[in-house]
């Protein structure tokens, strides 16, 4: 396995050009896109979060690391979509209303795409009405909700309740995740599954589809 420490270091330091070039180099040397995410980008962003919590990093450093991650995804997205196989299911993904954190959700989107799912990413601060409007327009098998703030956990619950009120809850499977979310919280709000990491979300989505 190619050493991804250069890539991780570049992302942690928010060096956008160096991150992109380390990602290209790793791909050229045969690293698979999913391994690049799970062993490169994902642990690097976890480290960035830790540095922020320890007071070593401030918002500008966070945003530079997030930008580096985004640029890497621009390269990975077409590669992840390349398999040509029929998607296993259509997943609609979003960070719930009031919450602007999207780094973890973007990792989940990339891992699901790489795992053979079609993903529609609605972005951040997604209201229940926005989810419902998309769900009414096209066939969707799984909805993925992300939340990073304890104050936006209720929005996750409200979204599921809104699906119920709109009569569409039973048509979909719902998976949830994000740092403050736990399995017991997921079950208490009526979600079908919880995954702690982006990598584990692929297995969860497969299980929800009965695969």
Q: CB of 161: closest distance to ligand B1M in angstroms?
A: 17
The footprint of ligand B1M on this chain (CB under 6 A) covers a number of residues equal to 36
Q: Which of 52, 67, 154, 169 binds ligand B1M (CB under 6 A)?
A: 52
Q: CB of 107: closest distance to ligand B1M in angstroms?
A: 5
DSSP-H helix ranges across 54-194: 59-80, 103-114, 128-137, 153-165, 183-188
**R_g over Cα of the chain:** 17
Q: CB of 146: closest distance to ligand B1M in angstroms?
A: 3
**Site residues for ligand B1M, window 89-108 (CB under 6 A)?**
98-105, 107-108
Closest CB to ligand B1M among residues 62, 166: 62
CB 20 within 8 A of CB 71: yes
**Site residues for ligand B1M, window 134-193 (CB under 6 A)?**
144-146, 148-151, 175-180
Q: CB of 84: closest distance to ligand B1M in angstroms?
A: 25
d(C-alpha 14, C-alpha 78), whole Å: 23
Kindly state whether residue 64 participates in binding ligand B1M, applying the rule CB under 6 A.
no
d(C-alpha 11, C-alpha 166), whole Å: 42
Q: CB of 153: closest distance to ligand B1M in angstroms?
A: 8
Kindly state whether residue 23 participates in binding ligand B1M, applying the rule CB under 6 A.
no
Q: CB of 4: closest distance to ligand B1M in angstroms?
A: 15
CB burial readout 124-137, b (16+ within 10 A) else e: bbbbbebbbebbee
Closest CB to ligand B1M among residues 16, 45: 45
On the CB side of 133, CA atoms within 13 Å amount to: 6
Q: Which pair of structure tokens corresponds to residue 156?
A: 């996750």
What one-character DSSP code corresponds to residue 56?
A: S
d(C-alpha 140, C-alpha 136), whole Å: 9
**Rule CB under 6 A: which residues touch ligand B1M?**
42, 45-46, 49, 52-53, 59, 62, 66, 98-105, 107-108, 144-146, 148-151, 175-180, 195, 197-198, 201
């Amino acid at each position: 396995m190619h050493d991804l420490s250069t890539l991780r270091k570049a992302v942690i330091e928010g060096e956008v050009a160096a991150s992109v070039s380390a990602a290209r180099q790793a791909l050229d040397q045969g690293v698979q896109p999913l391994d690049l995410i799970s062993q490169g980008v994902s642990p690097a962003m976890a480290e960035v979060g830790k540095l922020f919590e320890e007071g070593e990093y401030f918002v500008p450093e966070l945003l530079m690391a997030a930008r580096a991650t985004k640029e890497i995804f621009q390269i990975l997205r077409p590669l992840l979509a390349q398999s040509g196989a029929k998607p296993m299911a259509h997943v609609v993904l979003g960070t719930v209303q009031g919450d602007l954190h999207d780094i973890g959700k973007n990792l989940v989107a990339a891992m699901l795409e790489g795992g053979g799912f079609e993903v529609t990413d609605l972005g951040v601060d997604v209201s229940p009405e926005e989810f419902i409007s998309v769900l009414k327009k096209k066939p969707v098998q799984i909805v993925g909700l992300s939340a990073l703030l304890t104050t936006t956990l209720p929005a996750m619950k409200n979204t599921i309740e809104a699906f119920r009120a709109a009569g569409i809850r039973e048509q979909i499977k719902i998976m949830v995740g994000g740092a403050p979310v736990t399995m017991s919280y997921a079950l208490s709000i009526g979600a079908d599954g919880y995954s702690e990491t982006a990598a584990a979300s692929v297995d969860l989505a497969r299980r929800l589809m009965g695969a």
